[in-house]
């Protein structure tokens, strides 16, 4: 899915160009876990910057880790959690 972005804030908040699309709040972590990223979004009240937004909002936590292992050569060393705000 391609998202037409009207504005991207440095905090990882993505506003869709069309209000019937979903907004994203993304937090990236290194060597922690995706749930920690989601927790930070919630504890820091990041969704408050979208309090005027009437559409759906997803919280996305992504962690990159060298420690995640797989036998698949195409394996990406990350984990992701998505939660509706």
Q: What is the pLDDT of residues 12-70, one digit of tens each?
A: 788 788 878 899 999 988 888 899 999 999 998 888 888 888 889 999 999 888 776 77
Most confident range (mean pLDDT) of 6-10, 45-49, 73-77 is 45-49
Domain that includes residue 46, residue range = 5-84
CB of 22 within 8 A of CB of 4?
no
Alpha-carbon gap, residue 52 to 72, rounded angstroms: 43
29 vs 8, higher pLDDT: 29
What confidence score (pLDDT) does residue 82 get? 96
The DSSP call for residue 27 is: E
Tell me the β-bridge partners of 28.
62
A 10 A CB-CB count for 38 gives 21
How many domains, in total, are found in the chain? 1
């Amino acid at each position: 899915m391609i998202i037409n972005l009207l504005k991207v804030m440095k905090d990882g908040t993505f506003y869709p160009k069309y209000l019937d699309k979903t907004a994203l709040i993304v937090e990236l972590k290194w060597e922690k876990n995706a749930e920690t990223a989601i927790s930070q979004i919630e504890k820091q009240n990041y969704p408050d910057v979208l309090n005027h937004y009437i559409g759906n909002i997803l919280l996305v936590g992504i962690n990159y880790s060298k420690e995640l292992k797989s036998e698949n050569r195409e394996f990406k060393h990350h984990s992701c959690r998505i939660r509706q705000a």
